[in-house]
Amino acid sequence: MGITEIRPAQRQGVLWLGEDAPDAVARLLTEHGHLQITAGPFDMLVADFELSATKAVVLHQGTQRPSAIGPVLSSHVERLLDHGCMVFILAGLSQSKRP
């Protein structure tokens, strides 16, 4: 299904991929009107994933497999930006950099 008109301001969905969202972040997104938070692994974002209600995509890189984010970026980020989605990349801290 194609998108005929881009209206990112009217969308409320956030797609959170990779590591789990901290509770405080999920609460903050909800407080700012992002009512539909969908979480899952990176492979959830496939070529035919329905983006019509998605305002933002958060790619949360893990510390165990930091390179897993690379294929997602090279395969999908252009489509997300063309759709008008905001794309956020959160890098995981390695064990040696944690406070």
Structural domain harbouring 25: 15-50+61-93
Contact 62, 41 (CB under 8 A): no
Q: Is residue 80 part of a domain?
A: yes
Residue 5 falls inside a structural domain: no
Domain assignment present for 55? no
pLDDT in tens, 40-96: 887 777 766 677 778 888 888 877 777 788 888 888 888 888 888 888 888 776 555
Does any domain span residue 2? no
Distances 66 to 28, 57, 62 between C-alpha atoms, Å: 25, 18, 5
Quote the pTM value: 0.71
Residue 9 maps to a domain: no
Please tell me which residue, 9 or 67, carries the higher pLDDT value: 67
Count how many domains the chain has.
1
**56 found inside a domain:** no
pLDDT at 14 over 50: yes
Is residue 99 in a domain? no
pLDDT in tens, 37-50: 777 887 777 766 67
